[in-house]
Amino acid sequence: MKKNIILAWTLLAILTVGLAAPVGAMAEDGIMPLYDYVGAIGAGLSISGSTAYCSGDVFLNRIPSSLSMTLTLQKKNGDSWDSFASWSDSVIGGTDLEMSESCTVSSGTYRVKVSISVCLTNGDYEYISEYSPESTK
């Protein structure tokens, strides 16, 4: 059992880093958002048995005043998404932040939302969110 848990965390970490999206990608409306500090952000979800393994990471181009991340596991409810579990972390003066959390889930469709808040050195803020692919238990 312990070997399966270690394997699940390792696989999730590899997937999350591999799925980190550059934040200069073209949006559906044809407008490319530009961020001074945020370079890439990733969200990952793996469900094994009744356990959801959630992860998020962000990599910055420059050192900010502070960086905060909220990792939210969401469960699909009809056409909307409800918060199922949430965790937060922050760092002062760091250029990256990674989180890995787990919780017990029941049957349903889930995704992870990673929300980032960067306090710039001039006092302004950058906000960005990323979602993992959906996963069904």
Q: How far apart are CA 52 and CA 137, in angstroms?
A: 9
Cβ atoms of residues 74 and 111 within 8 Å: yes
**Residue 33: pLDDT band with limits 50, 70, 90:** low
Please state, rounded to an integer, the average pLDDT across all residues of the chain. Answer: 83
Q: How far apart are CA 106 and CA 20, in angstroms?
A: 27
Identify the DSSP state of 122.
T
Statement: the pTM of the whole predicted model exceeds 0.95: no
**Residue 1's pLDDT is what?**
55
Residue range 36-78, pLDDT digits in tens: 788 889 999 999 999 999 999 999 988 999 999 999 999 999 9
SS3 13: helix
